[in-house]
Amino acid sequence: MTTRDTDWDGVRLHVVTGKGGTGKTTVSAALALALARAGRRVLLIEVEGRQGIARLFDCPPLPYEERKVALGLGAKGGEGGDVYALAVDPEGALLDYLEMFYNMRRAGKTLTRIGVVDFATTIAPGLSDVLVTGKATEATRRRVAGRNSGHLYHAVVMDAPPTGRIGRFLNVSTEVADLAKVGPIKTHADTVAKVIRSPQTVVHFVTTLEEMPVQETLDGIAELQELTDGTIRAGGIIINMSRPAMLDPAGLAAAAAGSLDPAELVLGLKAAGINDNHGLAADLMTELSEHARQVALQDRERDELLTAGLPHYELPMIPDGIDLAGLYQLAARLREQGAA
């Protein structure tokens, strides 16, 4: 596959959302690894203070500082690029903002001390959201110093708040406009919104093939469209923790209908040296029919997701739990399917 051949060429800010428990952070990390081809630098940003990235990459808690955490997924036999990570919190983002635009870091510390950050997070979450998304867009736009060519990061992946909150979180300029009609924070919000609403940014939805996450994904896609008039682009749907079918479709249908012949199984068990004691074969048949029902449920939910008409990718359940090796496996799957 050539490097010009992915579904998201031209996208530089990948916002990843999903219902709690669907593996949003894991998928964000895998996407960052997949995007970091040789010679490329990718930044993975976490915004909810959970230190999930540090846990995944098995490194100490991330400070408010961009740090290299892993090598990207290389092409066959080669090394990948660099994956950096950053944990953004509203307080750090506020200090950053003051320093960057007003050269006022010390005043910022005073503000923190007297509770401006508390104020922003408690009374006007829109304000802290704009600071946090502002950091992500700043990193997206940042260019290599001293040269007039090239962005510092080839792409930025943001592990964003869950689906229920994503619309408001990204709709910064409108949220802030309700509070500030004019003024510096409004100007800042507009700059941030310009990046988020450009074709450079997409929002990916992570889901599992279960009813609630699927419903929430579809609602989230609709809400994003409605809140922002389609100016914030939905990206792909990433199905996580999918369980592979262990039988062909005909076999599954028969298993679900209970029309498989247990004698065939008994014979097989015997050939493998397992006696059908105490109805073992019958119990295994029960298990098989449960499996078949589950696969059928997954298929129904997948069809439902496809009604959104977005590109979709499917990642398998990693049975032993997610470790670094598992992350690279997921990254490889994402790349195979054209997500990166």
Which residues, 295 to 314, sit near another protein by CB under 8 A? 297
| Minimum distance from residue 251 beta carbon to another protein (Å) | 7
* Closest C-alpha among 20, 34, 130, 47 to residue 83: 34
Q: Does 267 bind another protein (CB under 8 A)?
A: yes
Q: Does 98 bind another protein (CB under 8 A)?
A: yes
Q: Rg for the chain (alpha carbons), in Å?
A: 23
For another protein, give the closer residue by CB, 71 or 308.
Answer: 308
- The region of 77-85, 102-110, 303-311, 327-335 touching another protein under the rule CB under 8 A is 102-110
Residues across the chain: 340
Task: Give CA 177 to chain center in angstroms.
Answer: 28
- Tokens for 310? 């977005």
For another protein, give the closer residue by CB, 121 or 225.
Answer: 121
Per CB under 8 A, which of residues 26..85 are in contact with another protein?
48-50, 52
| Minimum distance from residue 105 beta carbon to another protein (Å) | 11
SS3 158: strand
* Closest C-alpha among 293, 267, 294, 295 to residue 281: 267
Q: Give the separation between CA 44 and CA 46, rounded to whole angstroms.
A: 7
For another protein, give the closer residue by CB, 98 or 170.
Answer: 98
| Minimum distance from residue 97 beta carbon to another protein (Å) | 7
Per CB under 8 A, which of residues 109..128 are in contact with another protein?
110-111, 113-116, 118-119, 121-128
Per CB under 8 A, which of residues 229..258 are in contact with another protein?
246-247, 251
Sheet containing 312-316: order of strands: 67-71, 82-87, 41-46, 155-159, 13-18, 201-207, 233-242, 312-316
For another protein, give the closer residue by CB, 284 or 332.
Answer: 284
Binding mask 127-166 for another protein (x = CB under 8 A): xx--------------------------------xx-xx-
Q: Does 284 bind another protein (CB under 8 A)?
A: yes
Per CB under 8 A, which of residues 178..207 are in contact with another protein?
178-186
Q: For residue 71, give Cα distances in angstroms to 2, 65, 130, 336, 339.
A: 20, 18, 30, 18, 18
Q: Give the separation between CA 207 and CA 298, rounded to whole angstroms.
A: 12
